[in-house]
Copies of this chain bind each other. A is one copy, B any other.
Amino acid sequence: MRILAKELLNLYSDGEKEPAASEQIELCGWIHRIRELGAVNFVVLRDRSALIQLVLDGKCPYPLESVVRVSGNPARNPKAPGGAELRVISMELLGGADGNLPYQVNADVSKIGLEAILDNRALSLRNPKIRSIFKVQSTIIEAFGSYLRAHDFTEIKTSKLVAGSTEGGTELFEVDYFDRKLCLAQSPQQYKQMMVASGLERVFEVAPAYRAEKHDTPRHLNEYVSMDIEMGFIESEIDLIELEKELLAHIFEEVAAKNAADVAAWQDKGASVPVPDGILKAPIVGYEEALKIVNTTEGKTGQGQERIFDMSPEAERRISVWSEKEYGTPLVFVNDFPRRLRPFYTYPSGASGTMSFDAIFRGLEITTGGRRHNEYEVLAEALPRFGLKKENMEGYLSIFKYGCPPHGGFAIGCERLTQKLLGLTNVKEASLFPRDRKRITP
């Protein structure tokens, strides 16, 4: 029976159950490293749990990255990684490998370029440091769901094939759907609002979302994982911001508990898990106030900086610096965006503001959200001011015809959150199979 490398190492680390030297143990995994010293040869075996040293009498018969099953006697060895090794009696090939690797799996990640990493996903993920990105991401998705379920949210799955866009935008991918054209959904906006109105009241969804944007930047993906929530019976966007604080604090706690080693692997890039306390006390700054801050307090720190007129990437960076300095937290909320910058369905606030917000985490917008209009008549009247026609919006308007509670929601970009948690340079590093204008494989 196969055991994991980590299980074998644990037998020595706690000392109590240490196996007899005559006991035979079976391991399976990939040949990670080969060191031939003549009579005695060392192989490092890699499985999903850890690396472990194998000691062979003869030469290793298979090249690097071959998948093998080995059987042998365990032994304590303070010089071996993890403090133990397996003295191999037999080795069997389970999956052959071409010895001619495109690059060294066991090499320093910083020496492999982004394109090479993405072109060879089956190979690049064998590097434990790169694999750790997706161990963290798996926990993020789990913790997102577990927090929301504990707060009475229902998980929904909605169609990604839609007739048009709620946002009225043009950045849509078209699909040939039998004898007509549909579009890939930019967000589950309409559907999650419908589910609130349907009486589920609180819903969430984790699903792909699509933006046919042409720009190629370190912060954009044409296909990304959107972690969406929508909830009824709120007063304003403040209820949503409070929920997001608690939700992010929970996600960070789970990552800290389950992925300490994965996060530590990216320490050189500034990876760290924020303390929940700092997340809960993240400041909320009005849009106009935020612009003032990025143009004065933080704007003065650089030389010859140009005036910022909206919450641009540079403004996001500056407001985060301010938040770290003033509140000691990497998270800051900007609310009360002007009406002209938000979609027609955004609930107004004051003369020209809205009950909407962005969450900015370590200099990057990870969330947009807000309260929405919930009255049919009010919405129908608002449409012309946004250049929209009532007759084209009947599908969306129908949500509000038969009683819809005050509600709102937000979405967290899964890859962006992963990126910023680990200090990754490019959001594409946090997507297993990113899509951009040029990249369509693997």
**A171 CB to closest chain B CB, in angstroms?**
11
A338 at the interface (CB under 8 A from B): no
Q: Which of B48, B134, B156 contacts A134 (CB 8 A)?
A: B156
Stretch from A158-166, A294-302, A325-333 at the B interface: A158-166
Q: Are B98 and A401 in contact (CB under 8 A)?
A: yes
Q: Are A173 and B173 in contact (CB under 8 A)?
A: no
A242 at the interface (CB under 8 A from B): no
A141 to B, closest residue via Cβ: B155
- Please encode chain A, from 174 to 203, with 1 for each CB lying within 8 Å of some chain B CB and 0 for all others: 111110101010000011001101111110
Query: In the assembled complex, which residues on chain B have CB atoms less than 8 Å from the CB atom of A28?
Result: 233, 405
Number of A interface residues in the complex (CB < 8 A): 93
Q: Are B406 and A95 in contact (CB under 8 A)?
A: yes
**A417 CB to closest chain B CB, in angstroms?**
13
Query: In the assembled complex, which residues on chain B have CB atoms less than 8 Å from the CB atom of A160?
Result: 160, 208, 223
Stretch from A70-78, A122-130, A266-274 at the B interface: A122-130
Interface residues of chain A: helix, strand, loop or mixed (majority): mixed
Query: In the assembled complex, which residues on chain B have CB atoms less than 8 Å from the CB atom of A345?
Result: none
Q: Which of B159, B184, B202, B206 contacts A435 (CB 8 A)?
A: B159
A4 to B, closest residue via Cβ: B152
A374 at the interface (CB under 8 A from B): yes
Query: In the assembled complex, which residues on chain B have CB atoms less than 8 Å from the CB atom of A97?
Result: 401-403
A154 at the interface (CB under 8 A from B): yes
Within 8 A of B (CB), among A139-156: 141-142, 145, 149, 152, 154-156
A207 to B158, CA, bound (A): 10
Q: Which of B67, B95, B199 contacts A131 (CB 8 A)?
A: B199
- Please encode chain A, from 401 to 442, with 1 for each CB lying within 8 Å of some chain B CB and 0 for all others: 111111000000010000000000000000011110100111
A135 at the interface (CB under 8 A from B): yes
A121 at the interface (CB under 8 A from B): yes
A218 at the interface (CB under 8 A from B): no
Query: In the assembled complex, which residues on chain B have CB atoms less than 8 Å from the CB atom of A253?
Result: none
Query: In the assembled complex, which residues on chain B have CB atoms less than 8 Å from the CB atom of A48?
Result: 152, 199-202
Using A122-B399, A149-B142 as known contacts, say yes or no to A159 and B433 having CB atoms under 8 A apart: yes
A65 at the interface (CB under 8 A from B): yes
Q: Are B176 and A125 in contact (CB under 8 A)?
A: no
A13 at the interface (CB under 8 A from B): no
Q: Are B400 and A95 in contact (CB under 8 A)?
A: yes
Query: In the assembled complex, which residues on chain B have CB atoms less than 8 Å from the CB atom of A162?
Result: 440
A176 to B432, CA, bound (A): 22
**A267 CB to closest chain B CB, in angstroms?**
21
Query: In the assembled complex, which residues on chain B have CB atoms less than 8 Å from the CB atom of A191?
Result: 432-433, 442
Query: In the assembled complex, which residues on chain B have CB atoms less than 8 Å from the CB atom of A288?
Result: none
A94 at the interface (CB under 8 A from B): yes
Question: Which of A152, A161, A375 neighbours the largest number of chain B CB atoms within 10 Å of its CB?
Answer: A161
A207 to B122, CA, bound (A): 21
Query: In the assembled complex, which residues on chain B have CB atoms less than 8 Å from the CB atom of A405?
Result: 28, 67, 94-95
A214 at the interface (CB under 8 A from B): yes
A395 at the interface (CB under 8 A from B): yes
Q: Are A195 and B157 in contact (CB under 8 A)?
A: no
**A326 CB to closest chain B CB, in angstroms?**
32
A96 at the interface (CB under 8 A from B): yes
> Can you add 15 more A-B contacts, CB < 8 Å, to A95-B374, A122-B404?
A28-B233, A94-B233, A94-B405, A96-B403, A97-B403, A123-B198, A124-B198, A125-B195, A128-B199, A141-B155, A173-B176, A174-B176, A178-B214, A182-B440, A395-B441
13 A-B interface contacts by CB (under 8 A): A46-B199, A48-B199, A48-B202, A95-B405, A123-B402, A138-B154, A157-B414, A159-B434, A161-B223, A173-B175, A178-B212, A190-B442, A207-B207
